[in-house]
Structure 1
Amino acid sequence: MYEIIKNKIVHAVTIRRVVYGILGILLVYLIGSLASGYFETRADYKRTFEQLERTQRALDESRKLNQQLKASIAASQQLNSDAGRRIDQAQDYQQQTGAGIERLETNQRETGARIGESLEHLDAARGEIERGLELVDRIERANKTQQTDRTAP
């Protein structure tokens, strides 16, 4: 019976060793898997963090560009507004110039008509002066003939 018990104990110890060996191997495998997972997760975290930093830098740069674009748009709107006002002013000047030209043309027509009337009056006055001179000349001739008639007897 000693042999049976001894064999059973040796067999139990051997089984225990095999079980402990298997458990040890499983424990080493589990620790290795956990360590591998930890390192992979850490690398993923690091890559994710770096990507997040790149994204944040790109977002900051995008915000700067957006601010510059807004400033450029505001400046462009101001320039467009100024150009619109200048175009309106030019149109006003053009209208005023057109009205001035119309007034000038009207004044020229009126002046031309007045000059025409004045020339007609001058012609009439010249005719009157010529008739007056003829009359004066006839009177002087008549006076001369009367004087020669008085002195001739």
Structure 2
Amino acid sequence: MKRLGFNTAAGFTLIEMMCTLAMGAVLGAIAYPSFQGTLHRVRRADALVALMQLQSAQERYRADHAAYGDLPSLRAAGTSPAGHYRLAVAAHDATGYDLRASAAGGQHTDTDCRHLRLLVVGADIAYASGSDERFANAEALNRRCWSL
């Protein structure tokens, strides 16, 4: 058994430390996109809650008025509770309304579900999503964006 003296070095070499850091960087690069996807999905819940609250506010407002209302008449905020989405009432009349949530801040990188739309016309309710203002009607994308 060899004894360590004052002249004997013990520890890691620079090469060993660089290999360890490189492995950590590779693992981080693999895990980061998955983490971002989960974070986007969790933040999307903020928009869904806000749109459902706006929908309830619209129905309460309509019970007392001849038509549905805009954000000021509903006394609703222009952002979702956690601030990840901007909210708007794009259209409203006596028969229905069009609610929209657009991603803000870090959520803006959620390209597929950047814009969410809840459209009510009479007794029909439509949920849509898309990466731009055209709101793609792809069923799979809508299911992914509107479910948690």
Question: Does TM, normalized by the shorter one, top 0.5?
Answer: no
Give the number of the structure whose residues are more often strand, by fraction: 2
Does 1 or 2 have the higher relative contact order (CA < 8 Å, sep 6+)?
2
- Structure (1/2) with the larger helix percentage: 1
Q: Normalising by structure 2, report the TM-score.
A: 0.32
